[in-house]
Amino acid sequence: MSDTSAISASKLSAGHLGDALRRSRRERASQRSTFRALLASLGGAEPPATRIRLQHGDCLTVQGVAATHRLAFLRRFLAGGFQAHLQHNPLMHDVLGFRPAAERPERMSAAEKRLVRGGQSVGARARAASRGWSRDAKAEFLGLG
């Protein structure tokens, strides 16, 4: 019976080592970053803070180890829906102590965007003219024009 437990323990430890070797570069970097943050919070007097920028210009700041872990869990669990839940879900507001801005920022209409950013906007015409002048000057300098 003890031989079986020794074999299973060695298999488990070898399997665990194999998992550590197969971690991606991003996972290892994240693990190092987390460890450094934990070490800094234990060594210093100030608690760790996490800051997240949200869609409508809001910013969520969470302080403390427990709150940071709670936030990490919610981000993993909700994945792509995290921002939407944070904007509209009152339970999330209570859990994280966050109140979103009441108003959405003003947006440009499609016509305004075309006028400002389009190919025929004043800025685009000026850039095109500048590029043309630069091309002409370069060609003249090189003796091609």
Residues 39 and 84 in one domain: no
pLDDT score recorded for residue 4: 58
Q: What is the dihedral of CA 134, 136, 140, 141, to 10 degrees?
A: 10
Residues 118 and 99 in one domain: no
Residues 100 and 56 in one domain: yes
Q: What's the chain's average pLDDT? A: 79
pLDDT score recorded for residue 128: 92
Cβ neighbours, 10 Å, residue 86: 22
Residues 52 and 102 in one domain: yes
Residues 16-67 pLDDT 10s: 556 667 888 899 998 898 888 778 777 776 777 788 887 777 788 888 778 8
Q: How confident is the model at residue 9 (pLDDT cuts 50, 70, 90)?
A: low
pLDDT score recorded for residue 105: 63
**Domain residue limits at 137:** 110-142
Round to the nearest angstrom and report the end-to-end CA distance of the chain: 91
Do the beta carbons of residue 24 and residue 37 sit within 8 Å?
Answer: no
Residues 77 and 123 in one domain: no
Residues 130 and 87 in one domain: no
State how many domains the chain has.
Answer: 3
Residues 10-21 pLDDT 10s: 555 555 556 667
Please check the confidence at residue 127 and state whether its pLDDT lies above 80: yes
pLDDT score recorded for residue 136: 92
Residues 55 and 91 in one domain: yes
- Output the pTM of the full model: 0.43
Please check the confidence at residue 8 and state whether its pLDDT lies above 70: no
Q: Which of 15-19, 48-52, 83-87, 129-133 has the highest mean pLDDT?
A: 129-133
Map residue 144 onto helix, strand or coil: coil
Residues 66 and 86 in one domain: yes
Mean pLDDT, to the nearest integer, of 63-77? 82
Cβ neighbours, 10 Å, residue 62: 20
